[in-house]
Amino acid sequence: MNTKLVALLLLSSTFTPAFADDIKTLSHIDAVTVYPQGADVIRVTSVDLKPGEHTLLLEDLPGSIDPQSIRVDGAGNTGLEITSVDSKIIELSSVDIDAKRKVINDQIETLMDERSGLDQTVSDAQAQQRLLMSLADKQLQPVSTTETVKTVDATALGNLVDLVGARLTTISKSIHDAQLRQKAIDKLVADLNIRAESLAPDEAAHMQVSVHVVTSAAMTGSVKVSYRIGGAGWQPFYDAKLALPARGEKAKLEIIRRAEVMQNTGEVWDDVAMTLSTARPTGSTAAPDLAEDPIQIAMAEALGRAGGEANVPAVAAPMVADDKAKDEVDSGLLAQNALKKTDVLAIQRQAVIEMAGFNANYIIGGRVSVDNTGTAKKVRIATDQFEAALQAITVPRLDPNAYLTAAFTMKGDAPYLPGVVNLFRDGMFMGQGALPQLSAGEDAKLGFGADDLIKVKRAEVKRNSGTEGIITSSNVQELAWDMSVTNLHDVTIPVTVIDRKPFSTQSEITVETLAGMTVPSITDLDKKRGVLAWNFDLEPKAKKDIKTGYKVTAPEAVHISMNP
């Protein structure tokens, strides 16, 4: 049974005794936990140690890692004691970098020479195939026009077929083997090119980690070094697929969680076990401290000389960040309609979700490779199914369209992080939206574009202005509109129509609803003064009429400017 002695050690400045020997060892990245910003990396190195004291030197770590995050543990067939861990930055000269690049270029050149030789191998084998088929054909065809057709008995024909078949099988296998090797060479060359690109300027310095160990007997095992590094992260994005219901059924909403992983750490994550975590170790760990806010009395000197007004600094205009639209939309579902009925759909590999306290860890299935060039690796996390409450929302004052929305309640333990959503309705891409951060039990709503089967009209039916009053006169304006909504669907659709009427902030100006208007379901929608909403279920092929209007009264000396 293996004995495992684990030492989780912070870097120490204490005295380190002399050891019997220094052993330079190469490590490989075995596992990575990626956070929205930053990552934890686990490297593994195999060791074969004699009894005594040793120092394991790992020199292939990036120089940008956090030295205080370095942790070491190990396991082997006998006792292993880790006594201390040191780390230091090793600066690499341009000569060293050029030398490493030359080694990589030499490897690429050797591989490309081998590939060219395989091209010749394939060409020669194909020529042998053609020659063999030609010779076999000549055994059955006359040499000249005067020669009669050759007769071949069954035994000779069988021997000929067996001979040709065996030789063709051998030749075909050699061609297949050569082409497989060429494919492997192409992958190796691509990996080497990535390594060459990562050499400068990120590899101008390396972190050397020295692990001091003691073994009581000969020991074979492994040592793991873990550390935290910046220059990496992941962000979620989603596919939301809405299926409109048949009569008497509820709408179904499928949300596919995906992740985009990128890294520029100075190292290549090749064939690693990857976990995506929602934890944010680079963010704040405690609530901010709120300072006192005493009221200050403005001094006379602070007042402007002209008119006694204070010099008020100009307020900078807020910066507006442009939303980055996603260039890449998963078109897999759109292509499903073109599949044959006998085709078997590809299985989508998804992550295993584990809850770690308040955070979620998404364990990606299989092994993953992410290069060091900033290329985004896209992985699928999970698929969630919801029953959606449909609603058509229209604001005819601003837009004649009705927009289909789907409301749902978040479920499960793993939260949704904020991210872009690719929206599909009945298999058609409808555009992009966004999801906020959501936890179980929270309600959310997504818009799925204009619904062409909901027809909306709005027409102005009154616009009067004048004065009224006997003792004192007042300015009066009256405005009214008729709105209509028609449902051309075969199912009932809940509809919300949104409009507004002005409100007054002065007592001498009043706003009244005209008589005979349709009473709204909600006034001050979303706590916005004067914003009105009418909610109703619209049956198939049915039409709903809404009347809205108001009267504004102001003193005669006040000019009223109305916005229709």
Q: What average pLDDT is seen over the chain?
A: 80
Q: Is the pLDDT of residue 529 over 70?
A: yes
Tokens standing for 48? 């074969």
d(CA 66, CA 462): 71
Q: Which residues of 533-558 are buried (b: 16+ CB within 10 A; e: fewer)?
A: bbeeebeeeeebebebbbbbbbeeee
pTM above 0.85, yes or no: no
Pick the most confident of 173-177, 334-338, 458-462: 458-462
Report whether 551 contacts 462 (CB < 8 A).
no
Banded model confidence at residue 561, pLDDT cuts 50, 70, 90: low
Banded model confidence at residue 348, pLDDT cuts 50, 70, 90: low
Per DSSP (E only), the strands in 230-351 are: 232-243, 251-263, 269-277
**pLDDT value, residue 402:** 95
For the segment 149-156, the average pLDDT, to the nearest whole number, is 61
Q: Is the pLDDT of residue 325 over 60?
A: no
Q: Is the pLDDT of residue 153 over 70?
A: no
DSSP 70-89: EEEEEEESS-EEEEEEEEEE
Banded model confidence at residue 94, pLDDT cuts 50, 70, 90: low
More confident of the two residues 194 and 272: 272
**pLDDT value, residue 523:** 93
Tokens standing for 391? 């609603």
CA 79 to chain centre: 44
d(CA 242, CA 255): 9
Banded model confidence at residue 96, pLDDT cuts 50, 70, 90: low
Q: Is the pLDDT of residue 332 over 50?
A: no
Q: What is the pLDDT of residues 360-410, one digit of tens each?
A: 788 888 888 887 776 788 888 888 999 999 999 999 999 999 999 999 999
Q: Is the pLDDT of residue 327 over 80?
A: no
d(CA 399, CA 457): 10
The closest of 513, 548, 282, 250 to 397, measured between CA atoms, is: 548
For the segment 279-305, the average pLDDT, to the nearest whole number, is 71
**pLDDT value, residue 79:** 80
**pLDDT value, residue 435:** 92
Q: Is the pLDDT of residue 201 over 70?
A: no
Q: Which of 145-159, 310-324, 341-355 has the lowest mean pLDDT?
A: 310-324
Banded model confidence at residue 551, pLDDT cuts 50, 70, 90: very high
Q: Is the pLDDT of residue 124 over 90?
A: no
Residue whose tokens read 């007769």: 151
Tokens standing for 362? 């998404």
**pLDDT value, residue 365:** 83
Report whether 215 contacts 49 (CB < 8 A).
yes
Q: Is the pLDDT of residue 6 over 70?
A: no
d(CA 409, CA 440): 8
Tokens standing for 64? 């940008």
